[in-house]
């Protein structure tokens, strides 16, 4: 095996690792967003868990953050929470999820 082959395998392994990390971080951030939104909607316990789980499942089916943002923004519109605020929360939760998955450095 040449140095080039080893280097190529290293890049491929890093790509797979990064993709897996982003998949897990996205699922976790959607779950966190769902729990936050459930709290804003006055949901707790099993109802809050169901709401957040639906967001994770919906994202797996659609593979787009737009659907998640549209759903939560629509649900929270009556509470005076703007789509921009929802998007900001999602960004915060994504950052938090990445940090949790990476662990202490």
Record the pTM.
Answer: 0.83
The predicted structure's pLDDT at residue 48: 96
Written as one string, the DSSP assignment of 37-99 is: HHHHTT--HHHHHHHHHHHHHHHHHH--HHHHHHHHHHHHGGGT--HHHHHHHHHHHHHHHHH
CATH number reported for the structural domain that contains residue 62 in this entry: 1.10.790.20
In terms of residue numbers, what domain contains 93? 3-102
Q: How far is 17 from 65, CA to CA, in rounded Å?
A: 21
Number of independent structural domains in the chain? 1
Neighbours of 101 (CB within 10 A): 13
Provide CB contacts within 8 A for 36, sequence distance 6+: 89, 93
pLDDT in tens, 54-98: 988 887 777 678 889 999 999 999 999 999 999 999 999 999 999
């Amino acid at each position: 095996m040449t140095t080039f082959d080893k280097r190529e395998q290293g890049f491929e392994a890093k790509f797979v690792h990064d993709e897996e990390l982003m998949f897990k971080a996205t699922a976790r951030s959607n779950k966190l967003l769902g729990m936050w939104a459930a709290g804003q909607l006055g949901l707790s316990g099993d109802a809050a868990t169901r709401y957040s789980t639906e967001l994770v499942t919906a994202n797996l089916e659609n593979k787009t953050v737009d659907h998640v943002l549209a759903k939560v923004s629509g649900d929270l519109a009556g509470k005076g929470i703007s789509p921009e605020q929802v998007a900001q929360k999602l960004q915060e939760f994504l950052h938090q999820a990445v940090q949790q998955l990476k662990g202490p450095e």
